[in-house]
Each structure stands twice: as C-alpha cells, then as structure tokens.
Amino acid sequence: MSNTNKDAFNVADLDAALNADDRADLVNVLKNKLQDLAGKHSDVLENLSISVRKRVDVLREIQAHHDELEAKFFEERAALEAKYQKLYQPLYVKRYEIVNGVEVGGATADAESRKQADNEGEEKGVPDFWLTAMKNNEVLAEEISERDEGALKFLQDIKWSRVENPKGFKLEFYFDTNPFFKNSILTKTYHMIDEDEPILEKAIGTEIEWYPGKCLTQKILKKKPKKGSKNAKPITKTEQCESFFNFFSPPQVPEEDEDIDEDAAEELQNLMEQDYDIGSSLSSYGNHSTQFKRTTSVARNPVAMQQKITISNKRGEKLFGVLHETGSAKVAVLCHGFRSSKEYNTIVNLAHVLENNGISAFRFDFSGNGESEGSFLFGNYLSEVEDLRAVTEYFNSVNRAAVVVLGHSKGGNVVLLYASKYHDIPAVVNVSGRYDLKRGLEERLGKNFSERLNKDGYIDIKTRTGEVEYQVTKESMMDRLNTNMHEACLSVDKRCRVLTVHGSADEVIPVEDALEFAKIIPNHQLQIVEGANHGYTIHQDELSSVVLPFIKECIQQAEDVSE
C-alpha cells in the first residue's frame, strides 16, 4: 500500500470528470490513471528474473480467482437481500397501520372499533412517531430545526426501494394533508455509478410546493428604509436557512463548462458525503440492507459509549465534541478539515474503528464550525491550534492523556502546527494535509485577490446562487500566508512520531505534498493509499488499516513509559 511515486491525480483530472456529460467518466479517469501506473510497474517486472516473474504470474492467478469469488459474493448477496426485503415488507405494512391508527390494540381495526375509539376521544395511532424516531437518530437530529417539527408531525411513512436503471435507491416520504406544502409524497433518489462499490453519481430530490409564507427552507428579513428615502415601505430580503427539508435540494455537480477550484471541490465533496450520510440513515427505516453504506462495518465494543462534552477555549467560546468512551486512559483526538465538522464521514468512521478496538476517541468542532461557538474565519490555523490545546488540557485535567492527535485535510496542518509549538504529544497523524498553504488561492479568489483585499479589506465568498457563504479578510489571509509548514515541521520534536497518509488520487491536495512532509519531518512514516481521493470515499477500510496499527502502537508505547 505504501509507495512514494510522484504520479498523482491533480485538479485537471477532477475538472475533466466533473465537466463530462456522463458522471461515470469520473471512474474512467481514475482507471486510466491507474492503468498508466500499471504500465510503469510492468517495466519493473521486465527487469526481474524469470523465477520471480513466474511467482508474480501465480500471484496474478490468485488475484483473478479472488475476483471471481468476489463477483459471486456480490451476486449471492444481492439475491439474499432481495429475498429478505420481501420478508420485511409485511412488517413495514404492519408498522404503517399501527402508527397511523389503521389498527387498534395491535389488531386491524374494524369499523365498529374505530367508531368506538372516535367516540371515546382516544388518540389514533402513535402521534409524532416519525418526528420522534428521526430526532433520536444522531445524524438526523442535527438536520431538524424547531420550525421543521410542525411539518414533520404530518409524516406518515418512509419507504425505501431499489432503483435498477440507473443503479441506486429511492426514499419516499408520505405526508398527510398539511398546511405547509401541497405534495403528498416527497422523494429523494440516489444514483450510483457502481452497485457493488457504491460511488455516488448524483442525487435528485422533489421540488417542494410550499404554500405562501410557509417555506421552511427560507426566511424573510424585513429592514426599515433609510432615513430620507422616498420609499417608506420596509425592505424585504429572502435568505436560505437551515432546515431538514433542504435534504430534497441536494448539492449538484457542476454542469459542462463550469469551473470548480480546489476549495470548492473539497466543499462540494463534503456536502455530497453529508447528504449521502443522511440518506443512509433514513434508509435504515425502510431497508435492512447495508449495501449502500460506505462506513466500515465492525462489531461495536460492548463497553463503549458516546458522551457529549463541552470545552471552553481561551477566548471563552464553547467547543462541542463527542467522546467515544471505552474506559482507556489514553485518548486519540480527531480534527476535521476546512469548513467541515466532527460529523464528517472520515472522522466519524475513524472514531468508531478506534472505539471498537478499545481506544477512546474524541472528535470535536473547531470554533466557528459545526456546533461550536464563534465565527468561521478563513485561515485561522493558529487559532485552531489553540482550540486543540484547550482539548488536550481538558483531558489532562481529568487525569486522561491525549496521546495521538489526528487531523484530516486542514486538520492535518493543525495537528502538525500543534506538535511544532507544544511538545507534549507523542504521536501525530496527518491525513491529506497541505504542505504549501500559498497554493490554491488564485483559483479560489481570482488572480487579483491581493489587490481586492488591499482595496476593500475583504472578499465575499459566494455560493453559485449568489449568497455570501463566508468572508475572507486581509487579516485572515495573512494568517494563512504567514503560516509556514516547512518551518513548523522542522520544529516538531524528534521524539514525536508522525504518520502522513495521502490518497494517490487526491483531487484537492496533490500527493506530492505528502512527499514534501516526508523529506523534512525527522521521525516520519509515509503511507500512500492507492486510488483514494481526498475524502477516502470508497477507501475507508484502507485508511483505517493504516491508521489503526500506528495509533495502537503509539498508545502501547505511551502506556509502557507511564508504567
């Protein structure tokens, strides 16, 4: 799995895939790149001795046999899932009848019993069943606002079904007549490029027909007219707001001739993965299959539990996190990337993997991200280092020890910067961090971004619909430009073990950045995950297989020292 080959997928490859009419071309781009690498590897084989080449041929035969068995496994699994989906169906029908008052006392109600229940004023069914079920789901609860609850009280059923052409699955939400929108059924369909290895192509949702003044995904702001203005009427402005019903307007891959820069590509990927996670969570209500789940499936540690923890940083802002508690005194702290959160799929998956191996893991939101207090700031590397410092000090204060800090993407930079300033962490894991922080700015902000910052003092970063997403100030830009990763890496204590993991197909940060880290960090290990993109979308298991042994070894060493 490990190599230092400098052939890497770059942003041009990503653009080629995103701009194609057929989203499946993304897979072709990756395959072609891997074939190029395979061609170079064949040159190496020609230099081997005849006896070694024969052994390699045997290994190829073994791999071919493995592929045949895997194809048979996928075929049999699909048949088994289809069989049990039919067996589950009567149970879902029964559930619908009980929830919506079609049944009384567990048996199908006849007309007389329904009339008697009505006369006695008895509540029908199970009020707010789906709203309660969704709020008890950790992923879905974060998507539901107080305003949404009124509409979700009218939700009668959620159904899952397989889509064959193209491959994928569909979720159907059945609503009773309600004062919010006209639709009786809202649907969300996920189209997959590959059925066996679920690569998301696109998602399509129903356009909601809101009644006037009832739209839950927008809010109307009224401002008083300026003094002296001829128009005395209040000025109204419509803004998007957080709502579960945004689920039916999924993030879209740019169409042909539209450009997408590195930061936008990373953010789009984060949004698509978050949207898919919500869809996967909802699938569990109407489908027992795990075929479309991307996270590692492992048995849960019976003594593990998740505990919400709030920590104050030195600015007095509350940082919200989740501790995957196993009882171990040593803790691994996981840090998310740019405009992400502790709920990012890669971070959550790694936390579960550690948890199931008896290692306590803590994932949290940096200031201005996720649930944590504060305002989001571009750059802000050193402030996030101090957020991480608040976390490590918290565990020290409760007689625990943060032994490993792991960061993905921008979080990878933060953990390295932390190790360069504070020499109290034995081990650091840098997952797909950026080496040169000056890269990608012109693509994101334009070639004249420096002039605009000097003139106006800020640049508004807007969504494709023209809404201001966040602001880049001159101060925050200087924070990024003045953050020198080369100097920071030279300041990392030689006793601190550093693991850098990078995907060979990273379309956001090229794999060459990982090679630069390997050159200058003294106590360093490098692992390249072949074919993995920036988010390790279909390489979660490979990522875990690299990170887990390293963390286990570091924790064991820390325990040996403490004894």
Domain containing residue 243: CATH number: 3.30.1120.90
Shared domain for 279 and 199, answered yes or no, is: yes
CA distance 109 to 104: 5
Shared domain for 473 and 453, answered yes or no, is: yes
Residue 79 lies inside a defined structural domain of this protein: no
CA distance 160 to 137: 17
What pLDDT shows up at residue 163?
81
CA distance 15 to 29: 10
**For residue 155, what are the β-bridge partners?**
175
Residue 419 lies inside a defined structural domain of this protein: yes
Residue 142 lies inside a defined structural domain of this protein: yes
Question: How many CB atoms sit inside 10 A of residue 382's CB?
Answer: 14
Q: For residue 246, give both structure tokens.
A: 């945004």
The secondary structure of 55-99 as a DSSP string is: HHHHHHHHHHHHHHHHHHHHHHHHHHHHHHHHHHHHHHHHHHHHH
Using the Cα atoms of residue 345, residue 347, residue 350 and residue 354 in order, give the sign of their dihedral: negative
Contact 544, 357 (CB under 8 A): no
What pLDDT shows up at residue 56?
83
Angle between helices 540-562 and 345-355 (to 10 degrees): 50
Domain with residue 507: its CATH number is: 3.40.50.1820
Residue 248 lies inside a defined structural domain of this protein: yes
Shared domain for 506 and 546, answered yes or no, is: yes
**For residue 180, what are the β-bridge partners?**
none
Shared domain for 48 and 134, answered yes or no, is: no
Using the Cα atoms of residue 41, residue 43, residue 48 and residue 50 in order, give the sign of their dihedral: positive
Shared domain for 313 and 276, answered yes or no, is: no
CA distance 420 to 486: 11
Write phi, then psi, for 324 (nearest 5 degrees): -85, 90
Ranges of residues in the chain whose predicted pLDDT is under 50: 1-27, 29-31, 33-34, 37-38, 40, 104-109, 120, 257, 288-303
SS3 (DSSP) at 450: helix
Strands 318-325 and 497-503: unpaired
What pLDDT shows up at residue 115?
52
What pLDDT shows up at residue 12?
38
Shared domain for 410 and 543, answered yes or no, is: yes
Residue 538 lies inside a defined structural domain of this protein: yes
Shared domain for 477 and 374, answered yes or no, is: no
CA 403 to chain centre: 24
Q: Maximum Cα–Cα distance for the chain, whole Å?
A: 92
CA distance 20 to 514: 29
Range of the domain at 17: 11-64
Shared domain for 134 and 225, answered yes or no, is: yes
Question: How many CB atoms sit inside 10 A of residue 269's CB?
Answer: 18
Q: How far is CA 311 from CA 375, 392, 393, in A?
A: 16, 10, 10
Number of independent structural domains in the chain = 4
Residue 163 lies inside a defined structural domain of this protein: yes
Residue 341 lies inside a defined structural domain of this protein: yes
Q: 283, 315, 350 — which closes off a domain?
A: 283
What pLDDT shows up at residue 53?
82
Q: For residue 527, give both structure tokens.
A: 């692992």
Q: What is the CA radius of gyration of the chain?
A: 26
Shared domain for 430 and 454, answered yes or no, is: no
Shared domain for 366 and 240, answered yes or no, is: no
Residues 6+ apart with CB under 8 A from 150: 180
What pLDDT shows up at residue 1?
44
User: Could you give the angle at the alpha carbon of 535 between the alpha carbons of 529 and 537, nearest 5°?
Assistant: 80
Residue with token string 């959620």 = 158
What pLDDT shows up at residue 254?
67
Q: 231, 251, 283 — which closes off a domain?
A: 283
Shared domain for 394 and 275, answered yes or no, is: no
Question: How many CB atoms sit inside 10 A of residue 1's CB?
Answer: 11
Q: 283, 318, 346 — which closes off a domain?
A: 283
The secondary structure of 496-534 as a DSSP string is: SEEEEEEETT-SSS-THHHHHHHHH-SSEEEEEETT--T
Residue 377 lies inside a defined structural domain of this protein: yes
Burial of 227 (0-12, 13-18, 19+ CB in 10 A): exposed
Contact 557, 426 (CB under 8 A): yes
Shared domain for 23 and 164, answered yes or no, is: no
Question: How many CB atoms sit inside 10 A of residue 431's CB?
Answer: 30
Contact 527, 546 (CB under 8 A): yes
